[in-house]
Amino acid sequence: MYKAESFDIMQYFYGAVHNPLIHCYIRFSGHINVSELKRAVTLSRKAIPLIQCCFDVTGRRPCWKDKEFTEEDIVHVIQSNPNDIEQINSLLASKINIMKEPQLNIYLMNGQKADSLCIIINHMICDAAGFKEYLYLLSNIYTKLNENPSYMPNLKPNLRSTRQLFFDMGLRQKLGILFSKYDLSKQKKQAQICLDGDRSNPLFITHCIEKHELFLIKTYAKSQHASFNDMILTAYCRLLSRKTRTDRIVIPCPVDLRKYLRNNQKHGICNLTSNFICDVVIKEGDSFQNTLSQVSAQMNQQKNSSNCLKPIIMLELAFHLLSYQKMQKIFGKIFTIPVISYTNIGIIDSKLLKFANADILDVFVTGAIKYVPYFQVAVSTYEERCTLSCNLYGTTKDMVWIKSFLEELSKELLSV
């Protein structure tokens, strides 16, 4: 049995607005060795044992109970065309019963000439950065097994608690963060996107920004002393402003808190994410550059502050001082689940994601499937190819609208 951490509980409560899962698709030019993949999954559990556990809320405190699931429970081989979009979407949309099933599902789409992987993990186990760590670990074990079938990695689970962020902080510094300016409820009155929604129909919609286009966007960002993330946020805010006819857009921008850890500090595969707040006013006639200046200035100011740790301290305090039942009652009053959100999963490192000699043609990682009116755009980049994605339980009409939205987002980025 493993105790639940505060982030585990938070992601569990987030299940009210989405199925808390992270999804990944990997397309190969050739085949994957099934037995080596299964063996790699078995060995990887030493570093992340929660994948073989079930979540339990029946006791005094929630916990993870080891059910000793095997590789056969996690890895599923599907005889299918690895480029079949409908099959890919169907597998990516697979749910995990966190109370009864493993917290990781891997589907190997086995085609005549090549394979693909659809990988789904419970967001309670880790955030997107943690998921990338797991993908690198899994692929590294697979590669080592390919070289040496008797390979045994020296792995152990490391700390998953948010307490690791505050090891070097004194009481005064923690209190300074706790009473810092960070508006947890800023997005409560945010305008909504009018979509129909259909809880029986999960949609995965993607749009790719190709290498030459990404080069142009990054070149312009550099000329404006801004980041690529600033560019995406700017385009997203401007498009949302037009679609919702709202001149003020407030979007949480996830920040990986691992940057606050000590150099070389060991940490477990877990959730360590907070948010910066992007709050911009876009008036009619404002240029892209004008909005970019607002976004970039806000992001730089928040990057030089530790205020984003405030909700983490509050969550940790609530988790340790209150019962699970009490937390369940007050969670929605303290923490706002944003209606419109954004996540940049970042670069998937092609040097770290290697499955022996199986060349990878494409990869993207995306977040949870949202329930209307909740809406999120996710961004991930592999080999200078950027994938914009949006996952929603919606209608065919919603799918057409979202596809158009992602295309317009790309055009907005390239308009400068």
User: Which amino acid does the sequence have at 398?
Assistant: D
pLDDT for the residue 119: 98
In this structure, what token pair is assigned to residue 352?
A: 């770290």
pLDDT for the residue 209: 97
- SS3 (DSSP) at 256: strand
pLDDT for the residue 46: 94
pLDDT for the residue 182: 74
Element (H, E) at 415: none
> Going by C-beta distance under 8 Å and a sequence separation of 6 or more, which residues neighbour residue 93?
202, 204, 369
- Going from the C-alpha of 36 to that of each of 43, 139, 352, the distances in angstroms are 10, 10, 18
Q: What is the largest CA-CA distance in the chain?
A: 65
59/33 Cα distance (integer angstroms): 41
User: Which amino acid does the sequence have at 248?
Assistant: R
pLDDT for the residue 53: 97
In this structure, what token pair is assigned to residue 183?
A: 């508006």
For CATH 3.30.559.30, the residue range(s) in the chain are: 183-414
* DSSP β-ladder status, 18-19 and 104-110: unpaired
For CATH 3.30.559.10, the residue range(s) in the chain are: 2-147
- Going from the C-alpha of 139 to that of each of 40, 102, 358, the distances in angstroms are 8, 19, 11
Helices (H), 25-149: 34-44, 71-74, 85-92, 128-147
For residue 34, the number of C-alpha atoms closer than 13 Å in the C-beta half-sphere is: 14
The residue to which tokens 């556990």 are assigned:
53
Q: What are the backbone dihedrals phi and psi of residue 373, each rounded to the nearest 5 degrees, phi first?
A: -90, 5
Answer for the pair 363, 24: CB distance below 8 angstroms, yes or no.
yes
CATH number of 183-414: 3.30.559.30
- Identify the CA nearest to 158 among candidates 20, 300, 85, 261: 261
Answer for the pair 88, 116: CB distance below 8 angstroms, yes or no.
yes
**Would you write out the chain's pLDDT as a tens digit for each of its 416 residues?**
899 999 999 999 988 888 899 999 999 999 999 999 999 999 999 999 999 999 999 888 899 999 999 999 999 999 988 788 899 999 999 999 999 999 999 999 999 999 999 999 999 999 999 999 999 999 999 999 999 999 999 998 899 999 899 988 888 888 898 888 876 555 556 678 989 999 999 999 999 999 999 999 999 999 999 999 999 999 999 999 999 999 999 999 999 999 999 888 889 999 999 999 999 999 999 999 999 999 999 999 999 999 999 989 989 988 889 888 888 888 877 777 889 999 999 999 999 999 999 999 999 999 999 999 999 999 999 999 999 999 999 999 999 999 999 999 999 999 98
367/56 Cα distance (integer angstroms): 23
Q: Per 3-state DSSP, what percentage of the chain is helix, strand, and coil (rounded to 5)?
A: 40, 25, 35
33/324 Cα distance (integer angstroms): 44
Q: Could you say which of 1.20.1050.10, 1.20.140.10, 1.20.210.10, 3.30.559.10 is the CATH number of the domain covering 2-147?
A: 3.30.559.10
Which burial class, exposed, middle or buried, applies to 223 when counting CB atoms under 10 A from its CB (0-12, 13-18, 19+)? exposed
Q: For the chain, how big is the Rg over CA atoms in Å?
A: 21
DSSP 206-251: EEEE-HHHHHHHHHHHHHTT--HHHHHHHHHHHHHHHHHT-SEEEE
